[in-house]
Chain A
């Protein structure tokens, strides 16, 4: 104990210490009284106005690129008008926005109502998108008139080439209500978000959309940002770029240059070894940007009722009668089931074929004369196939067709159709066991009747002929690359089925498809470019009604070391050899960088003969 202090001094020190402690605590308590009681109203008001908001920073959507990295779909900034869902009930804001900017009052109220019902009132309500410059400046100048509304620049999807590759790329649109309701977590969709609706936009949605970021900002009563807590900001992670297998130049040339005006149809070009889709055309297309901006009901109605049905994906979802292109399958079936041998000749084709009281016509009225299989294939003689149809039977025909991947989906990642390969079970089911006769095979063997294929399926068959019998899975996404340029996924070629063609069938079909183009009586002369040799098969498919036929051409090229295979169908355009084959020629010329001149066949005949490619197939 400190002896230098007298008892009194010591007691004074203790009392002073008590007093100081009490005084200091009392001071703090008085400060509490001042802030919490005397100035309570002020701070309460400040707390109410303390509009700290966590603002979402929407991640830029990944870019869609072609196989060479050319961007086909990117984003542009557009101004969108938002309101605070909680402030809408005052009844002044919306009418003035409707008056000055044409905001749809009812839609905005419904939206705000929906948000309230889902306890999402604190999220901004989008009332108008794609504001014009004039609208933006009008809003900014009169901002004080619209308390509770603000502008935000958000990314809008831009389809750089408008109606290019419509049914591959697909479009984005405002996310559906149920998707909003069913998504949770930090990546949940909000009302007004965009998501892919069709095509690759929908297929690769998870890759494309990225991770949204957040900003902590304080806004005043009119929604203006006062400042941001920069150190709390979480920047968004942009969506991954998706590289498609599409070859932009090729796809665009087919759509805009090669295609005959005002015709509907489809074209598919595949890499024969990998199954990569180099081009997938469905004509007509439509401007995808109209959907990205937000299509009106009236506009949509125009698209929906267009007689050429632009909304319809023809290259993979449409089932067409394949016509004579189906002879590829029929020939394989005839050979594999030993109905014919390669050099066996049948009786002459008189131009028609009688089964019972029914006459089946050959496309050549005067008849083809007596032909072997190669000749029948080269000249596409229907009667030759009619003659063997009943011997083959519908079921064995269907089996070969299925073997070649027809009548079923190809494994393509985008929507597609099964097509239809009828067999006896099918007819039993649809017509009843007694409702049909084996005569159906006569019609089916030339790709008419009930047979339906999609262009994609047929292109895959051509690729299988070209690559030695491997049925590939058509691939549309080549690789996914993140914003830093790292490849996340590169999809490998997938074989759906190996060895789908017997050696005999393969040999015949390769020879036959060559002969169609180079043979003197071949139907596909128009497919021959001025250098390099194309193999193919024409088709002219009859359609119900008195309309013109569908023009088909199935091809691969070059003949010795095939690299691409494909199919062209132009609806209601006439003969395959006249309408579709030239398009195929231009496709090949474009892909291999040839100068393209039509009508090269007769000029090149001596060269073809010299090479020993032309064989006399008729008697």
Chain B
């Protein structure tokens, strides 16, 4: 900050920030407040039987979180990216230690995801996501070579693996997937071709097919067909022999690995997966929540029931309708129009992020900005997709909108960094 920046750099912030992206962020925060007001305020006053299960305190506390979050955004904006770059490995190391600590402390209890320091609690996995973006950005900006060689995927893969393993041990499948949702787009940004991503992902797809086939009395032939298709793609792209051989082996290996992995999943995770592929199997648990969420969204129709008019939110079906399932409330009260507006606002931020990444001259900025955009992209589509039954339920909140502190602070900090990377791209 220099003298001409105004008090605490406000003038410089206002002048240089990307107004479109900032406006989208503020609009989403306003939507968050409106929705939480609706969730927490009963239209039928004093009516015990229909009391909303989420107290009005949540609404007022969200003000505090948003205020703190805007502080984090401002902090992110003024954090020099060189500091983030220089400290990337340190962040990575710290987050790794914290993930270890949380496992160690939490041993014997059910939830091993939070660290408590006095009244403050946070999830080290949130911190680990941030560290991963910066570490990958730093690594990718310092290495050259063909992004399509399997060998150039090796190090990024090794970087992602340790935190993923620790998080899977917690166990938190949804959060572990976020790490891949950051890694793969960044690899793509580095030049990895989509066809190769599909090939690389084929063991994963095969894995999902195995899971799906579990609900279909273990008929294996669709998977065999898929493996043959993969084999055909490899014959067509003969350039990378050893890579193709490895992928093919991995595809076959899945068949033996999947039962072993499955037996290591927690029952609730197995349940979630099965109920996603076949909601009939689990009418009462996760599948039921999704069904109820779809009913709320579907009942909203094109224009919605109107603010405070939603009826499904009053009912008890969604314990997390102020957090993970907040989109179902928005869908019911503001309809498809409201849902699409929110999607557009998020898309706007993501697209601006990609634009920042594309025009940056500095390698780190280029990858970090893209990583942040990918991070936001995944959280939004995963959450909304889950609410409307596109994707299995994973405990991921809707960024900027869901009630909650940890996610709000991290997201706004990252968006602050993103705005910074976009605002002074000529200098970088």
Residues from chain A with a CB closer than 8 A to the CB of B146 are 4
Of the candidate stretches A37-45, A85-93, A96-104, A247-255, the one touching chain B is: A37-45
Residues from chain B with a CB closer than 8 A to the CB of A4 are 144-147, 191
Q: Is B347 an interface residue (CB 8 A)?
A: yes
Given A50-B292, A54-B316, A29–B343 Cβ distance below 8 Å?
yes
Q: Is B161 an interface residue (CB 8 A)?
A: no
Residues from chain A with a CB closer than 8 A to the CB of B373 are 21
Of the candidate stretches B47-55, B128-136, B394-402, B404-412, the one touching chain A is: B47-55
Q: Is A46 an interface residue (CB 8 A)?
A: yes
Give the contacts of B286-318 with A (CB-CB under 8 A).
292, 294-302, 311-312, 315-317
Give the contacts of A10-34 with B (CB-CB under 8 A).
13-14, 16-18, 21-22, 24-25, 27-29, 31-33
CB distance from A211 to the nearest CB of B (A): 13
Give the contacts of B254-310 with A (CB-CB under 8 A).
283-284, 292, 294-302
Of the candidate stretches B63-71, B81-89, B213-221, B382-390, the one touching chain A is: B382-390
> Is there an interface contact between B312 and A25, defined as CB atoms closer than 8 Å?
no
Q: Is A432 an interface residue (CB 8 A)?
A: no
Rounded to whole angstroms, the CA-CA distance of A147 and B50 in the bound complex is 23
Q: Is B361 an interface residue (CB 8 A)?
A: yes
> Is there an interface contact between A17 and B298, defined as CB atoms closer than 8 Å?
no
Rounded to whole angstroms, the CA-CA distance of A1 and B46 in the bound complex is 62
Rounded to whole angstroms, the CA-CA distance of A59 and B403 in the bound complex is 35
> Is there an interface contact between A36 and B316, defined as CB atoms closer than 8 Å?
no
Closest B residue, CB atoms, query A184: B46
Closest A residue, CB atoms, query B346: A25
> Is there an interface contact between B354 and A43, defined as CB atoms closer than 8 Å?
no
Q: Is A257 an interface residue (CB 8 A)?
A: no
Closest B residue, CB atoms, query A14: B358
Closest A residue, CB atoms, query B147: A4
Residues from chain A with a CB closer than 8 A to the CB of B189 are 13, 17
Given A31-B388, A232-B319, A25–B301 Cβ distance below 8 Å?
no
Choose one: B140, B301, B377; the contact of A24 (CB below 8 Å). B377
Closest B residue, CB atoms, query A1: B363
Give the contacts of B162-218 with A (CB-CB under 8 A).
185, 188-191, 194
A-B contact count (CB 8 A): 141
Q: Is A302 an interface residue (CB 8 A)?
A: no
Given A2-B190, A35-B297, A36-B297, A52–B302 Cβ distance below 8 Å?
no
Q: B350-371 toward A: CB 8 Å interface, digit per residue (1/0)?
A: 1100100010011100100010
Residues from chain B with a CB closer than 8 A to the CB of A227 are 283-284
> Is there an interface contact between A22 and B298, defined as CB atoms closer than 8 Å?
no
CB distance from B337 to the nearest CB of A (A): 9
Closest B residue, CB atoms, query A228: B284
Residues from chain A with a CB closer than 8 A to the CB of B292 are 50
Residues from chain B with a CB closer than 8 A to the CB of A186 are 48
Rounded to whole angstroms, the CA-CA distance of A555 and B256 in the bound complex is 94
Rounded to whole angstroms, the CA-CA distance of A200 and B295 in the bound complex is 51
Rounded to whole angstroms, the CA-CA distance of A27 and B391 in the bound complex is 12
CB distance from B3 to the nearest CB of A (A): 32
Residues from chain B with a CB closer than 8 A to the CB of A44 are 298-299, 301
Q: Is B335 an interface residue (CB 8 A)?
A: yes
Choose one: A2, A14, A29, A39; the contact of B298 (CB below 8 Å). A39
Q: A40-73 toward B: CB 8 Å interface, digit per residue (1/0)?
A: 1011101100101010000000000000000000
Rounded to whole angstroms, the CA-CA distance of A37 and B189 in the bound complex is 36
> Is there an interface contact between B354 and A14, defined as CB atoms closer than 8 Å?
yes
Q: Is A188 an interface residue (CB 8 A)?
A: yes
Q: Interface residues of B, CB < 8 Å — how many?
A: 62
Rounded to whole angstroms, the CA-CA distance of A122 and B185 in the bound complex is 52
Among A28, A54, A229, the most chain B Cβ lie within 10 Å of the Cβ of A28
Q: Is B381 an interface residue (CB 8 A)?
A: yes
Choose one: B301, B363, B385; the contact of A28 (CB below 8 Å). B385
CB distance from B138 to the nearest CB of A (A): 13
Given A17-B354, A50-B292, A123-B49, A36–B336 Cβ distance below 8 Å?
yes
Q: Is A134 an interface residue (CB 8 A)?
A: no
Residues from chain B with a CB closer than 8 A to the CB of A232 are 316, 319
> Is there an interface contact between A33 and B336, defined as CB atoms closer than 8 Å?
yes
Rounded to whole angstroms, the CA-CA distance of A342 and B10 in the bound complex is 106
Residues from chain B with a CB closer than 8 A to the CB of A122 are 49-50
Q: A214-254 toward B: CB 8 Å interface, digit per residue (1/0)?
A: 00100000000001010010000000000000000000000
Residues from chain A with a CB closer than 8 A to the CB of B340 are 29, 32
Residues from chain A with a CB closer than 8 A to the CB of B295 are 43, 46-47, 50
Residues from chain A with a CB closer than 8 A to the CB of B317 are 50, 52, 229
Q: Is A338 an interface residue (CB 8 A)?
A: no
Residues from chain B with a CB closer than 8 A to the CB of A184 are 46
Q: Is B422 an interface residue (CB 8 A)?
A: no
CB distance from A286 to the nearest CB of B (A): 36
> Is there an interface contact between B301 and A54, defined as CB atoms closer than 8 Å?
no
Choose one: B47, B312, B354, B361; the contact of A50 (CB below 8 Å). B312
Residues from chain A with a CB closer than 8 A to the CB of B294 are 35, 43
Q: Is B331 an interface residue (CB 8 A)?
A: yes
Q: Is B154 an interface residue (CB 8 A)?
A: no
* A-B complex: 6 closest residue pairs judged by Cβ atoms: A43-B298, A47-B299, A52-B315, A36-B336, A216-B316, A14-B358
Other A-B pairs beyond A13-B189, A21-B351, A44-B301, 6, CB < 8 Å: A5-B191, A21-B377, A29-B339, A32-B331, A50-B312, A227-B284
Q: Which residues of A contact B (CB under 8 A)?
A: 1-5, 9, 13-14, 16-18, 21-22, 24-25, 27-29, 31-33, 35-37, 39-40, 42-44, 46-47, 50, 52, 54, 119, 122-123, 184-186, 188, 216, 227, 229, 232
Interface pairs (15), CB distance under 8 Å: A2-B140, A2-B141, A17-B188, A22-B351, A25-B347, A31-B385, A32-B336, A32-B343, A35-B294, A36-B301, A36-B335, A37-B336, A46-B298, A227-B284, A232-B316
